[in-house]
Structure 1
Amino acid sequence: MITAKIESKSLVKGLIIWTILFAVIIVGFSAVYPQMHSSEMKELLDAKLNGLSPSLLKTFNISVSGQASFLVATGFFAYYFQYMFLAASVYAMMLGSQSLIKEETDGTIKFLYAQPVTRSGIVTSKIAGNVFILAIFWLVSFAVSLGATLTYRQSTDSVTTIIREIGKIFTQESLILLFFLSLGFFLSTLLKSSKQSTSISLGIVFGFYLIGIFSDLKESFNWAKNISPTHLGIPSNLLDKGLSVVSVGVLSVLIVLFFGGTYLVYQRKDLKI
């Protein structure tokens, strides 16, 4: 319990920075939405978007109709939030990948061993602390997203629909963020230094993102979208179809395996004390 509290306190500064940045960007983008309903903007969108190829629109997750349309509050939110989700995935990955190795890199592992706690206890406390921090970040982001979207909605946008669809996006994406957190934890047992975590986190998240893009560009590579968590979590995709039962099952199993693997590897690891 003590270790979990220490872990949570050490992550508060980063949580505040990430949360404030997210809130500012979300409010800023939401404030642009009313401009999409001006007659000039509607004409421009009709002329430009209808002239683009369907494959290109699909690659950038742009929709001209339905709930994912630019002219619908949830669709406009879904378009810009896909990039926010990428950043959130990097954050979750970094939380996990720095969690265990940073004690060795910073030389504070001796302090942990001075506490009446086992290696399994250390991992459990680290997981609890990081899940708590990630949950706060995601809940605040949800509240800001919902508040900003409702504030700048148009008369044609249903309040009930906005609440339901944004809630749907955040609920399903939370499973993917937990996947990246668990993957980060497992990698944290393999890294030599916490300085490697940022580059590795960026590489893995954007690597998955590129796989998703290629899967849309090449028909023969279409199967790859199912192995890209970032592609599965694209907001416009969640609005249209949502996560399939198979995807939820696979992600859940992988989360359990990565957390389980973290316990196993950390128990056998030679720590730099």
Structure 2
Amino acid sequence: MNIILRELKAHRKALIIWSVCMFLLVVSGMSKYTAYSAGGASSEVFDKLPQTVKALLGIASFDVTQMSGFFAMLFLYIELAAGIHAVLLGSGIIAKEERDKTVEFLMVKPVSRGTIITAKLLAALANVVILNLVTLLSSLLMVSAYNKGEPITGEIVLFMVSLFLVQLIFLFFGAAVAAALKQPRTSGSVAASIMLGTFVLAKITDLTDRLSILNLLTPFKYFSYARIVEGNGIHAGIALLAIGLAVGLAASAYILYRKRELTI
């Protein structure tokens, strides 16, 4: 328990900064909704954009004049920000003892490595949950302030459930990368680079259906925004796949961390 509290305290400032940034992202994004919902030049510009440009911007076939379509477009950037936070948190919380030369602090305690990594991952999970809740509350607040049509509270909740599963995948992926690499200083950049690579891959597969098989390699494509907007919810099989992947990555982090030689 002491290790969990120590990690929560160590990441408190970063969590506050990320939470504020996520709130501002939602606020700034939703503030643009009136320009599209009212029609006019802004709406016409989006209608005339080529399909490839729409795909790259995350618009796809969404009607951005409707709140559900506009929020789906905004969610792309919310998910990217949350993914960056999760992967950096996962890698950092595992690597920071070696990076900051504080390994002795943990090694002199009468606890096993399994207990140490469990405490670290629980603290990281708490951070992810809090950021997800901040994003959910921010989204509900701002959508209610701008939405003049049908409420989309259910869709927002489903978006955040899918976001949480993606966060888990990248959190445990970052932890596994940090546990596997011998150079803790590079774990964050390596994990973040791979994560951003999956985002780029998601944009590439948006451009053509011929590469849809590659969607299995990018968590950003596991959950269909269109499916949620259309009221069909989250595919149960995909949700189970995401949970299984997160569990597998967490198990890998455990195994690799317990076997590695820590640099003092």
TM-score (norm 2): 0.91
The answer for the alignment partner of 1:267 in structure 2 is 258
Q: Is it true that 1:213 corresponds to 2:203 in the alignment?
A: yes
1:208, 1:231 within 8 Å by CA — same for their partners in 2? no
Alignment of 1:9-28 (within 5 A): 9-28=9-28
Pair 1:141–1:33, CA change in 2 (3 A) = same
Question: Could you list the runs of 5+ residues in structure 2 that have no partner in the other structure?
Answer: none
Q: Quick one: structure 1 residues 153 and 210, their matched pair in 2 at CA, closer, same or farther if it must change by over 3 Å?
A: same
| Equivalent position of 1:4 in the other structure | 4
Q: 2:99–2:184: 8 Å Cα contact kept in structure 1?
A: yes
Shift of 1:174: 0.6
Which segments of 5 or more consecutive residues in structure 1 lack a partner in the other structure?
A: none
Structure 2 residue 195 is the aligned partner of structure 1 residue 198? no
Distance of 1:50 and 1:138 partners within structure 2: 32
The question of 1:184 aligning with 2:174 is answered: yes
Alignment partner of 1:189: what SS? helix
More divergent stretch after superposition (203-212 vs 124-133):
203-212
Superposed CA RMSD:
2.0
Q: Is the 8 A contact 2:37 2:64 kept in 1?
A: no
What's 1:248 paired with?
A: 239
Contact 1:100/1:126, CA 8 A, preserved across alignment = yes
| Equivalent-residue separation in structure 2 for 1:96 and 1:39 (angstroms) | 43
Residues 4-63 of structure 1: CA deviation (Å, up to 9, x unaligned) = 11111111111001111111121122122123233424xx524x3443444443343325
Q: Percent identity at matched positions? A: 26
Structure 1 residues 261, 201: closer, same or farther in 2, change over 3 A? closer
User: TM-score when scaled to structure 1?
Assistant: 0.88
2:54 to 54, 57, 63: 57
Give the drift of 1:103: 0.4
User: Would the alpha carbon gap of residues 39 and 56 (structure 1) be closer, same or farther in structure 2, given more than 3 Å must change?
Assistant: closer
Runs of at least 4 residues of structure 1 off by over 6 A?
none
Contact 2:178–2:188, Cα closer than 8 Å, also in 1: no
Q: Which amino acid aligns with 2:167?
A: L
Structure 1 residues 96-115: aligned runs within 5 Å: 96-115=90-109
Separation in 2, partners of 1:247, 1:184? 21
Instruction: Output the CA distance in 2 between the equivalents of 1:29 and 1:169.
Output: 16
Query: Given residue 76 of structure 1, which amino acid in structure 2 is its aligned partner?
Result: F
**How big is the shift at 1:116?**
2.2
- Verify: 1:239 aligned to 2:229, yes or no: yes
Deviations 1:207-246 (A, max 9, x none): 1112112222233312112321012346455434554333
Verify: 1:226 aligned to 2:220, yes or no.
no
Deviations, residues 182-219 of structure 1 (Å, cap 9, x unaligned): 11111111223443233223311221112112222233
Conserved 8 A contact 2:95-2:187? no
- How far did 1:261 drift? 1.5
Q: Which amino acid aligns with 2:159?
A: I
Distance 1:50 1:149 in 2: 23
| Partner of residue 80, structure 1 | 74
